[in-house]
Structure 1
Amino acid sequence: MKMRKIILAIWSTVATLLFVTSAQPTAYGLEFPTTTRLILPDAPVASARLVAAPTTASAVAASLTSALDSRRAVFSSEIAMVSAMSLNVESARTPLGAKKFTKAMMAAEYGWGDNQYLCLNRLWTKESNWNYQARNPRSGAHGIPQALPATKMEKIGTDWRTNPVTQIKWGLLYVSERYDTPCSAWNKFRRSNFY
């Protein structure tokens, strides 16, 4: 009887783990559809005409492209944008990648230069050592900028637990809104050991 309970407990655990892994979204926060549909416009039967079949690969591609409307062309550019963003997310999972992304975003979005980056680098090195999984067990602060409470980052995206880009965007916005510049935030941190 005891062996039966142990086997039942093991299989219950296996079933629970299988359910959890299939019910949870992916760790990277990107969900792609399992099927892709391509709908071409219907050609009226009355205007059907015979056309010579294209013989080269580029001719085939050109004929297919001309059959698509502009909405599908925009969709392909959105896919390219998602691909570029996922590269940013993956590279930002390392401290070096996070620093490169942050420096580029600081210049592009806020107009902050190298001196401001040095202050932010010191600040976030002290806070999390640029680890997007960093969590303060006493306060509950989370991520590269150590948001407290961590749910504040939902202002940027709900994937803040797994996406360092979301954390960086929120951290830069927080520094900008609260302190105007990273050097002001760094000065506050040096005085009080928090910002």
Structure 2
Amino acid sequence: MKRDIREFFTALSVLRISRTGKVAIWATVGSMLFLATAQQSAYGLDFPMTTRLALPDSKNLTVSNNPPAASLASQMSEMAVVAGISQQVEMAREMMGAKKVAKAIMNTDYQWGDDQYACLNKLWTKESHWNYKAHNYRSGAHGIAQALPAVKMEVISSDWRTNPVTQIQWGLRYIDLRYDDPCTAWAKWRSHRYY
């Protein structure tokens, strides 16, 4: 590392650059060094450099070389769940992916069939074209289901602005609680232009 830095400065000193050019280069180098040391991290998150482990004082502690299999299995299971959810969120950012995610949630959580999905597809195509970033500036409605006010989606999760799966889950829950099924909500939309 030190050798690389030394080579960099040696190469920099050999270059024939005007006085103003040198000032600009050194100002850039200085500002980069400042930013590298002043910022906590690239995203402003503060991660500890060391970890402390506090163990209780006890005479009955034993040392085992065998890793706890149950703990490892549960951690791997949790990681698989997180990976599946992340994949679902990324897929739902596109219209076709959002439709697939909504259909899967409808089937597993509400036992609604293809006829209900057809109504939901028509409804949310009219409302937002399945765009999780859709926002009605006149009314303030937001997301795939056009929640009004949008903060209602915090019932599901606080990431409703950026997570299309949260919006889909909220929209399906809203339809279930208010209309019982998507076809009834679609009938309401056809007669009133809102649901």
Q: Give the C-alpha shift of residue 75 in structure 1.
A: 1.7
Q: 1:84 to 1:145 in 2, by over 3 A?
A: same
Matched AA of 2:105? M
Which residue of structure 2 lines up, in the alignment, with residue 169 of structure 1? 169
Where does residue 115 of structure 1 map in the other structure?
115
What per-residue deviation string (whole Å, max 9, x for no partner) do you get for residues 60-117 of structure 1?
Answer: xxxx8x5224233212211110011000000000000000111111111101001000
Structure 1 residues 70 and 120, CA gap change in structure 2 (3 angstroms): same
Q: Deviations over 1:112-159 (max 9, x none)?
A: 001000000000000000000000010110000000000000000000
Q: 2:43 aligns with which of 22, 28, 46?
A: 22
Aligned partners of 2:131, 2:118: CA distance in 1, in Å? 17
SS in 1 for 2:43: helix
Asked if residue 142 in structure 1 is aligned to residue 163 in structure 2, the reply is no
- Aligned-partner Cα distance in 2 for 1:98–1:82: 18
Percentage identity across paired residues of the two chains: 53
Aligned to 1:6: none
Gaps of 5+ in 2: 1-30, 54-60
Q: Between Structure 1 and Structure 2, how many residues are aligned?
A: 151
Q: TM-score, normalised by structure 1?
A: 0.69
Give TM-score, length-normalised by structure 2.
0.69
1:17-72 deviation digits (Å, cap 9, x = unpaired): x89x734x8xxxxxxx899x9x9xxx847xx9xxxxxxxxxxxxxxx8x5224233
Match of 2:130 in 1: 130
Q: Please list every run of at least 4 consecutive aligned residues from structure 1 whose deviation after the TM superposition is greater than 4 angstroms.
A: none
- 1:22 alignment partner AA: Y
Counterpart residue number, 1:53: none
Which runs of structure 2 are paired with 1:27-66 in the superposition (5 Å)? 44=62, 66=66
Question: Corresponding residue for 1:184?
Answer: 184
Find the counterpart in structure 1 of residue 153 from structure 2.
Answer: 153
RMSD: 3.1
Query: CA separation in 2, counterparts of 1:34 and 1:77?
Result: 26
1:81 corresponds to: 81
Q: What's the CA shift string for 1:154-173, capped at 9, x where partnerless? A: 00000000000000000000
Aligned partner of 1:98 in structure 2 is 98
Q: Which residue of 2 aligns with 1:4?
A: none
Instruction: Give the residue type in structure 1 aligned to 2:165.
Output: V
Instruction: Please give the alpha-carbon distance, in whole angstroms, between the structure 1 residues aligned to 2:190 and 2:165.
Output: 25
Higher-Rg member (1/2): 2
